[in-house]
Amino acid sequence: MKNIIIILINLLSIKCYCQTYIEGKVINEKKEAITGAVVFWAGTNTIASTDQNGHFKLIENKNSNFIISTFVGYNNDTSLVTSQNQNALIITLESKELKEIVVNAGSDHHSFENTVNAETIGLKEIRSAACCNLSEAFELNAAVDVIYSDAVSGAKEIKMLGLDGFYTQVLVENQPAIKGLNSTFGLQYIPGQWMSSISVTKGIGSIINGYEGLTGQINVEYKKPWKADLFSVNVFGTHQGYMEANADFSWRFNDNWSTIALVHGEAHQLLNDFNKDGFADHPRYWQGNISNKWKYDNRKNFETEFGANMVIENRDGGQLTYLKQQDKLDPAYGIRIDTRRYEVSAKTGFLLKNNSSVGIQYKIFRHQQDANFGFNEYLGVQYYANINLIYQLDIPNENNILKIGASYTYENYDERFNEKEKKRIENVPGIFSEYTFKLKEKFSLIAGARIDYNSFFGTFITPRLHLKYSPRPNLALRLSGGKGYRAANIFVENMSVFASNRALIIADKLREEAAWNYGISLTKKIQIHKHHELVIALDYYRTDFTKQVIVDREDVNKIQIYNLSGKSFSNSFQAELNYELVQGLNMKAAFKWDDVWVQYKDALKRKPLVPIFKALLNLNYTTKNKKLLFNTTVQWYSRTRIPNTTGNPTEFQLPSYSKGYINLLAQINYFITKRWEIYLGGENLTNYQQPNAIIDAKKPFSNNFDASLIYGPVDGIRIYVGFRFNLPYDKSKRLEK
C-alpha cells in the first residue's frame, strides 16, 4: 500500500512538471499595463488574470489556438497563439466610448460598415476651404446645399433632400445645436476651426436624439481636450474686408483631467456695393464666440464631460446711406440684428459590470435675438433645457445592442413681430428604445421607437427602421424609413420675409409638422487598379408630409402662413463617384435631382427657390512630399422656380424660373513645416451675382420692395489668404505616464 501511494505521488508530480504555460501581457492603447484583465482560451473554462504589471500565465490548451481577453471599459480582444508568440504575447485592448462619436481625420468618405447612410467629412475636407463656420463646411459636399436666405442680413441656410435646413437635425457632439431661435444664424455660430469631423446622415435619423430630424442628421465633433494640440491658431482675411481669428489651448493635468479652451472672433466692417444697387453686399458685423470644455475619466468605469459656450454678435446692413449715416433727414433702409446666447452642457457615463453602460446628457441655454428690418421689428427670447438618459446593454455581445431611455425637454418661447405676439411653452417627457442587430458583416438593422407627450401639441409616436445588407465587403445596400415631428418657429425660420414690405398674415392654431421619410441607398467599391478604387454611391429618398406649416409667397402683396391642406412631398436622387485618378489626385463627381412640391391655396406647385438639379466636380491633389495641397470645386445649379411676381409693375416682375449658374472655388495649402501652414483661395471665382436680388432697391419703403427672393450668390468674387499654426502636445507629459 505504501508503495502504491508513492507511485501515485510520483505520477502526479510528473504531470505537474509536464504542464506548459502561455505567458504574455495585456496593455491599453497608451502602452499602460491593465491589472485584473481576464484571459481565457476560446471555448474553454481555462482562465487566468493579469497581475499589477499586466502579466498573465495561462495553462496551455491543445484544443484551442485563440485567447480571449476582456476587461471592464475595454473592447474584447481575440488573439491567435503561435509558436513564435506563445512566450511573449502582447495583447492591446481598445477602450470603449460611452457615447457614439464619429471621428475621421482624413477626407470625406462613405461608410460600408454603418447601418445608416452616413458620410463623414474629415479634417482634410474641412481645411480645403476657408470654412469660417458650419454653413461653409459643405461647399465640397453634394448632399447639403448652402444658399443665402436674403440679400441684406448675410444669413445662410442649408437644404437637404430639397427641403429647408430646419427639417435636418443639427447636433454638436450628439446634442441639439440648431434649434429654435438660432435657426437663421445658428450655422454661423459653429466655427470651422473648432471642428474635428462632421457626420452627415441622410434620411430619417436616430430616435435617441428626439423625434426631429425628418430629412437627416448632421453631427459635428469638436476638438477633444485629451487629443487636441497644446495650442493652435488660424487667422485669415479677404479682400472684401472680412477678418477671422481662431485659437484653442488644451491641457492635460493628469491621467484623469483634461480641458480645452476655444476662442473665435470675426468682423466685417468694410462696406461694398459691387452691383451698384445702393445696398451693402454684406452686413457690417462682429462676432465673439468662446467655449471651454472639461473631461474627467477615472480610467475604470466613469467619465464625464462638461462645458460652457457664449456667443455675442451684432450686425447691421441695408443701404449705404443708412450705414454711413449720410442723410439723417431722409430715412434710409437699414437692418439691425443683435444676438446673445449662453449655453452649458454636460455628459456623464458609467460602465457597468454586465456589458452595459449608462449615459446621461444635459443641456441648458438662453438665446435672445432682437432685430429691425426697416420698419419691421422682431424681439425673441428662448429658454431651453434638456436631459437625456440612455441605458445600453450588449446582449450577449456587441452584435446585439439594446438601448432604452427617457428624456425631458423644456422650451419657452416669447416672440413679437411688430404687433403680432407668439408665446409657447413646451414640456416634453418621452421614452424610447432602440435595438441594433448585426449578423457578422453581412446584415444589420437598427429598429427604434419613442413616445413623447408635448404639452402644447399632444402625443407623438415615432417609429424608425434602418436596414443594411452587404453580400460582399465592397457592397452595401441600405433601406430606411420612419416618421418625424417638429414645431415650426415661423418668425426666425422665415426671417428672410422680414426683408420685404408685404403684409404678414398668420392663420390661427398652427399645428406641429409631421412627415414620413423613406430611402434606399447603394454603395459599391470597385478595384480598378492595384492601388486605385472607385467608390459609387447612389441614393433615393422620399419625404411625405402629413402636417406642415406652409409659407405662401405666391401673392406679391402678402405672405400667408397656414396649415397644409393637401399634398406636400419631395423626391431626391443623388449619384456620386469617388476615384483616385493617379497617386495623390482624387476626384469626386456628383449629380443630384430634387423634386419638391407643395399644395398652396391656389394650386399644387413646385417649391420655390430650390434648384431642380445640381452637379459637382471636385479635384484635390497632394504632392508626393506632402508640402502642397491643391483643391478646386466646380458647382452647377440648374434653374429655380421663383414665387409669382406678376402682381408687381412690369419693371419689377421676375421670370417664373431663374437661369442656372456655375460657381468655382479653389484653394492652395502650403505646409512650411509640420507646425506652419499658409493657404490662398477664392470663392465664387466665376463672379456670378444674382440679378435683381433686391426688387425696387431705390425705394425700399415702397410696396414693391422685396429682398427675400434669393436663389444664388448676392456678392462677387472673394479672395482670401490665411495661416495656421499648431503646437503638438508633448507625449511625455503626465497623461502618457
Q: Would you list the DSSP string of 446-478?
A: EEEEEEEEETTTEEEEEEEEEEEE-SSTTEEEE
Distance CA 261, CA 247 (A): 8
Give me the pLDDT at residue 330, please. 66
Helix (H) or strand (E) segment spanning residue 380 = strand 376-394
pTM of the model: 0.84
Phi, psi of 562 (to 5 degrees): -150, 170
Q: Is 707 left (phi over 0), alpha (psi -120 to 50) or beta?
A: alpha
The CA dihedral of 131, 132, 134, 140, to the nearest 10 degrees, is -20
Nearest C-alpha neighbor of 588 from the set 573, 578, 600, 597: 578
Contacts for 733 with CB less than 8 Å, ≥ 6 apart: 252
Strands 163-164 and 400-417 come out as: unpaired
Give me the pLDDT at residue 129, please. 67
Please give the domain boundaries of the chain with CATH numbers for all domains.
Answer: 2-93 (2.60.40.10), 109-221 (2.170.130.10), 222-736 (2.40.170.20)
Tell me whether the omega of the peptide bond preceding residue 608 falls within 30 degrees of 0, making it cis: no
Rg of the Cα trace of the chain?
Answer: 29
CB 192 within 8 A of CB 201: no
Q: Flag residues of the chain having pLDDT under 50.
A: 1-18, 97-107, 732-737
Could you tell me the three cell numbers for 449? 421607437
Give me the pLDDT at residue 13, please. 37
Distance CA 301, CA 351 (A): 5
Going by the DSSP 8-state scheme, the letter that residue 354 receives in this structure is S
- Dihedral sign of CA atoms 648, 651, 657, 661 in order: negative
Strands 503-506 and 558-563 come out as: parallel
Distance CA 285, CA 188 (A): 12
Strands 532-547 and 513-529 come out as: antiparallel
Helix (H) or strand (E) segment spanning residue 2 = helix 2-18
Contacts for 200 with CB less than 8 Å, ≥ 6 apart: 118, 119, 120, 121, 141, 143, 144, 216, 217, 218
In angstroms, the first-to-last Cα distance of the chain is 61
- Tell me, what amino acid is at 443? F
Phi, psi of 320 (to 5 degrees): -60, -35
Nearest C-alpha neighbor of 492 from the set 153, 57, 144: 153
CB 348 within 8 A of CB 360: yes
Could you tell me the three cell numbers for 141? 459636399
CB 154 within 8 A of CB 317: yes
- Dihedral sign of CA atoms 507, 508, 512, 517 in order: negative
Distance CA 23, CA 43 (A): 19
* Cβ atoms within 10 Å, residue 156: 18
Give me the pLDDT at residue 100, please. 33
* Cβ atoms within 10 Å, residue 316: 18
Could you tell me the three cell numbers for 35? 491589472
